Amino acid sequence: MITLNQAKALKSGQIVYHTENKNADGTPQRWKVNGKVKTWKRDDSRVKIPIKHGLYNHDYITENDLELINL
């Protein structure tokens, strides 16, 4: 689990691990941050992190999903 401040400090190219999605050998899936972390001025508790897994899987991590991610 990462905190909101850790999520805001992520940089493009960093690797994060998903705690529920597993690879075939049982290890956690690796996701790569592939863009700038978006934050909001009006609401400090919001964050949107673009990530990718493999060649074609792209997704976003939001403030609701931070408990599923480890560094």
At 19-71, the pLDDT tens digits run 999 999 999 999 999 999 999 999 999 999 999 999 999 999 999 999 999 99
Does CATH number 3.30.70 belong to domain 4-70? no
User: What are the domain boundaries of the chain?
Assistant: 4-70
Contacts of 12 (CB under 8 A, 6+ apart): 33, 34, 35, 36
Output the CA–CA distances (angstroms, integers) from residue 40 to 37, 47, 56, 57, in the order listed.
10, 7, 28, 25
What pLDDT is attached to residue 48? 97
Closest CA relative to residue 71, chosen from 30, 23, 21: 30
Q: Which tokens hold the place of 43?
A: 């609401």
Q: What is the pTM of this model?
A: 0.88
Q: How far apart are CA 4 and CA 7, in angstroms?
A: 5
What pLDDT is attached to residue 50? 97
